[in-house]
Amino acid sequence: MAKNIQAIRGMHDILPEQSPLWHFLENQVRSAVESYGYRELRTPVVEMTDLFKRSIGEVTDIVEKEMYTFEDRNGDSLTLRPECTASCVRAGIENGLFHNQVQRIWYYGPMFRHERPQKGRYRQFYQVGVEAYGLEGPDIDIEIILLSRRFWELLGLKGLELQINTLGTSGERARYRERLVEYLSAHSEQLDEDSQRRLNSNPLRILDSKNPQMRPLIEQAPTLMEFLGDESRAHFEALCAGLDEAGVDYVVNPRLVRGLDYYARTVFEWVTDRLGAQGTVCAGGRYDGLVEQLGGKPTPAVGFAMGVERLVALLEESQALPELQTVDAYLVLVGDNAGRQGVILADRLRREVPGLRLLTHCGGGSFKSQFKKADKSGASIALVLGEDELSQGVIGIKHLRESREQEQVALADLASYLQSAI
């Protein structure tokens, strides 16, 4: 027999039993972004490959080794999006969203990176992201950090640490870069292969190395803080002061550089020690140069992206999970006649009771086996319709989650009974 076809390595099904938790997260996220006035932008999952090469940077993990790139039937080089900021900028330029306007945008969807799959690191994964265009900050930088904190509050996640840093302007980075290359060249024997290669092409990225053997060298490296000009310094100080005033705890991490090329000034990450090596759940910063780099008018921008699988993993192990019920009532139907009438009754009830989530038993079977299924469904009420009930025009009601007497309600009163019960 032929072997069953399996999902692609690093790409996962979200099963029906897992989706209530995903929905909880999605609902909280939506309510947070809407409360801050952000509007959703949906872009295609494939883009021209050049979009990512020109935005993320040629000498980055993503572009060098993680993109799903293929030729379509016209011979165009396309790529499954590895992230969505470039797509937002592309869409914004293409649709004139940045012309003398402030835009507050959010997005949600799958991203694709050909990485080594492990806990918290997948080849298809979901991100929620937030982007604000047309504002130089630091007020807006503070706003989006507060928005990210609001997510943790609404999700009930505790113990996340905020790390912030500044990358200065491109000029400041260029001077720092010279100093950094000097330092790293003097210790070139300690550089791993990736870092050797990046020493000339993208030395800042060496600070982002995931190789633990590189850690001591990185710890001792000169920091960008010493190379900041007055404006960048003032921007960073105002950011810190704003966070202090808002009561946000943070740690300044001078080695936080972020993996993508397009960042400038503010960068930040929310990290946890509860997910092992993949501890960053949210990452972002300011990327003032990107819109212009992709052909638009100069437009300041700031944003972040969160890894949804990592947040779901945190939620799964958190104690404060809300009850995630998906069904209110289960209709037990005993006998052929009840079986036929029941489907129609259920259809009517769903219309009459807004929001009612009612599961009808199909396929017959004994009262006992149906009752087991009612219990397993998570419903709080079992409605029982048998031949006796039908002939009397009533329905039996059993409470599955509280110890209450079984009741009988006239079919004519059932809708209003359920209305107040759910």
Residue ranges binding ligand ATP (CB under 6 A): 83, 113, 115, 120-122, 125, 127, 259, 278, 280-283, 305, 307, 309-310
Q: How far is the CB of 57 from ligand ATP (least distance, A)?
A: 12
Which of residues 198 and 310 has its CB atom nearest to ligand ATP in the complex? Answer: 310
**d(Cα 411, Cα 392) in Å, to the nearest integer?**
9
Q: How far is the CB of 222 from ligand ATP (least distance, A)?
A: 22
State both tokens at 387: 């031949």
In sequence order, what are the residues at sequence separation of 6 or more whose Cβ sits closer than 8 angstroms to the Cβ of residue 206?
Answer: 180, 184, 191, 195, 198, 199, 214, 218
Residue 218 C-beta: closest distance to ligand ATP, Å: 14
Q: How far is the CB of 58 from ligand ATP (least distance, A)?
A: 16
Mention every residue, 6+ apart, whose C-beta is less than 8 A from residue 215.
none
Instruction: Of 235, 251, 215, give the one whose Cα is nearest residue 172.
Output: 235
Q: Which is nearer to ligand ATP, 87 or 377 (CB)?
A: 87
For ligand ATP, give the closer residue by CB, 211 or 380.
Answer: 211
For the chain, what is the radius of gyration of the CA atoms?
A: 27
Nearer to ligand ATP, 104 or 205 (CB): 205
Alpha-carbon distance values, 201 to 195, 255, 400, 420 (Å): 10, 19, 65, 67
In terms of Cβ atoms closer than 10 Å to its own Cβ (0-12, 13-18, 19+), residue 263 is buried
To ligand ATP, the closest distance from the beta carbon of 197 in angstroms equals 18
Q: How far is the CB of 60 from ligand ATP (least distance, A)?
A: 9
- The residues, any chain, with a CB within 8 Å of residue 201's CB and separated by 6 or more, are 59
Question: Measured from the CB of residue 178, what is the shortest distance to ligand ATP in angstroms?
Answer: 25
Question: Is the preceding peptide bond at 82 cis, omega within 30 degrees of 0?
Answer: no
Which of residues 49 and 278 has its CB atom nearest to ligand ATP in the complex?
Answer: 278
Q: Considering beta carbons, is residue 165 or 280 the nearer one to ligand ATP?
A: 280
Q: What is the largest CA-CA distance in the chain?
A: 92
Q: Dihedrals φ, ψ of 237, to 5°?
A: -65, -40
Cα(412)–Cα(10) distance, integer angstroms: 53
When the beta carbons of 161 and 375 are compared against ligand ATP, the nearer one is: 161
Taking a C-beta distance cutoff of 8 angstroms, is the pair 130, 38 a contact?
yes
Tokens standing for residue 313: 């993993």
Question: Quick one: 120 or 342, whose CB is closer to ligand ATP?
Answer: 120
User: Minimum distance between the CB of residue 125 and ligand ATP, rounded to whole angstroms?
Assistant: 3
